[in-house]
A and B are shown apart, each in its own frame.
Chain A
Amino acid sequence: MQIYLPIAEVSINVFLLLGLGGLVGILSGLFGVGGGFLITPLLFFIGIPPTVAVATGANQVVASSVSGVLTQFKRKAVDVPMGLVLLAGGMLGSGLGIWAFNLLTKLGQIDLVVQLSYVVFLGAIGLLMLLESLRAMNRARKSSKPVKRHQHNWVHNLPLKLKFRASGLYISVFPPLAIGLLVGVLAAIMGVGGGFIMVPAMIYLLGMPTKVVIGTSLFQIIFVTAFTTVMHAVTNQSVDVLLALMLILGGVVGAQIGSRVGARLKAEQLRILLALLVIIVAFKLGLDLLIRPTELYSLSAGGQP
């Protein structure tokens, strides 16, 4: 069964779109990542124009994040004050990122920067998480002593401290603000929600417990991607609502399955799975840069390069 997408102007199988949405929804519920780093390349792969893929991907992430965050709220696994602080930094960073994006577009190198940042950030984060999780698992197996999750370092000596009850933290607002800012910049440049950077940053830099991290990440992703969706709709008119609807229908169901499965898995197992997934995507994108493409030329809609 085919459906014609009015903005993307292509006809695609309905079940393919539902399945794609479902897959990304499961990941979203499982790991607290929006799935933007997967949905955008996947949409591109099935023949959706890149601008439509980025904008509609953002819209889909809003839905799966809302669905996921409501489940997390029920479990009291959302640190709202922390989410708001991250969001404040994120909005600022997003503005900076859009400025950088336009500059790079003018220079004609946005494609390369986007691809390289995917490879570098996904690869580095994936490897770090994998190594850390494996070490944590080994430690847990050797001794049943609880591992101290976060050490006190310079981060904890900054002024303007706030109590984040759900996370069990009493830290300065500056580290979360800075992380939000950095993620905002990267999110705007790479066209993703930024969960895959946010989640490890919250675990390893802020020392938040994994269970709270997922809900809090989803909470702030909703606002960042909602902002992105409306911006794309207004400036590029590239949001395809029918495409989004198909992805959402699959995605919301997937997100529910994901968060239920996630509740049964151990934190370390979750981290290892996310790490492996991130590494695979980074590896694939890196390979594309290194291997000689079969067709050296490519076409894109629109006039001037």
Chain B
Amino acid sequence: MIRVLIIFILAAFPARAEQVVAGLSQNSIGITASFDGSAILIYGAVKRDAPEPTGPPLEVIVTLEGPSVPVTIRHKSREVGIWVNTEAVGVAAAPSYYAVASTGPLSKILSPDEDVRQRISVPLAVRAFSGPLLVEDARPFTEALLRIREAEGLYQLEQHGVTLVENTLFRADFDLPSNLTEGDYKVRIFLLRDGQVINQHRAAIPVRKVGLERWLFVLSREQPLAYGLMSLALAVFAGWAASALFRLIRN
């Protein structure tokens, strides 16, 4: 108890000395028909009431996290000569996107217990969301989830993605992929010294479909029959129109 209290005090005390002031290049992202991914710039400064303390250098970590959705991880194995899905693990919620940018390697600037507390590194952030698992050893499954999403660029770790100027100004650039899930994207900014978080800042960027995209999506969810019949009518009309047009061209 006392140890926890000490850590708390140690963590809280310098927080008053150095604070994050941050801004985002975009307050919201609208998904239009021509949406093709988006770049987002997160920038900020360190506000100080006193001269900069000497000692371990200042480090900055910025995380960007997409909404969590359920996912099923399947494993193939060979049965009677053919490869089939044999085992599956359902994860109640995993972030659809998670990116970490930092001023240096996480192993050097972030202490392991602080990582566990704040769930900063990719495996910890994802594990935090996983619901109850049904397989005895789920580790290979969660590892596969990380591996596949990293390969798709959905989970990213940029060990030098944050530029820190004069220990005061910092910026981090994120490239959001085009296959975004709608929802609020959470931004977290951590200031660290000696592996400990001394101050943090949170913000959210809403990502929403707009215009035609929004209208079609809402219609498909709220009036599925009308939406289905509309798709059908469109198909029949297009088929007829093409046939009529070609006949016209030929005559």
Chain A interface (Cβ < 8 Å from any Cβ of B):
1-4, 6-7, 9-11, 47, 59-60, 62-68, 70-71, 74, 108-109, 111-112, 226, 229-234, 237, 239, 241-242, 244-245, 248-249, 252-253, 255-256, 288-293, 295-305
Contact = CB atoms under 8 A, between A and B. Distances in A.
A14 to B, nearest CB: 10
B1 to A, nearest CB: 39
Given A249-B238, A256-B243, 8 more contacts: A2-B34, A9-B180, A62-B232, A62-B235, A66-B239, A66-B240, A237-B224, A288-B83
Nearest to A11: B178
A241 B227 contact: yes
Contact of B144 (A71, A239, A297): A297
Contacts of A64: 239
Contacts of A305: 72, 74, 88-90
B32 interface: yes
A59 B36 contact: no
A47 B179 CA distance: 10
B42 to A, nearest CB: 23
Given A2-B36, A296-B75, A289 B83 contact: yes
A299 B73 contact: yes
Given A233-B225, A295-B148, A305-B90, A245 B178 contact: no
B243 to A, nearest CB: 4
23 contacts: A2-B178, A3-B33, A4-B33, A4-B213, A6-B213, A11-B179, A63-B239, A66-B240, A67-B238, A233-B224, A241-B216, A244-B234, A248-B238, A252-B239, A252-B243, A253-B242, A256-B246, A296-B144, A299-B149, A300-B71, A303-B70, A303-B92, A305-B74
Given A6-B217, A59-B235, A233-B228, A290 B74 contact: no
B181 A9 contact: yes
Interface residues of B, number: 67
B159 interface: no
B19 to A, nearest CB: 38
Contacts of B236: 62-63, 66, 226
A74 B244 CA distance: 11
Given A252-B241, A290-B82, A66 B217 contact: no
Interface string B36-72: 1100000000000000000000000000000001111
Contacts of B89: 305
A239 B227 CA distance: 9
Given A60-B235, A233-B228, A301 B243 contact: no
B4 interface: no
Contacts of B73: 297-299
**For B144, B228, B230, B240, which residue has the most chain A Cβ atoms within 10 angstroms?**
B228
B131 to A, nearest CB: 8
Given A108-B88, A239-B227, A296-B76, A65 B239 contact: yes
A7 B218 CA distance: 10
B85 interface: yes
Query: Closest 10 A-B residue pairs measured CB to CB?
Result: A233-B228, A66-B239, A305-B88, A252-B242, A11-B178, A297-B144, A303-B70, A63-B235, A67-B239, A70-B243
A97 B44 CA distance: 59
Given A11-B178, A112-B84, A63 B217 contact: no
B209 interface: yes
Contacts of A245: 234, 238
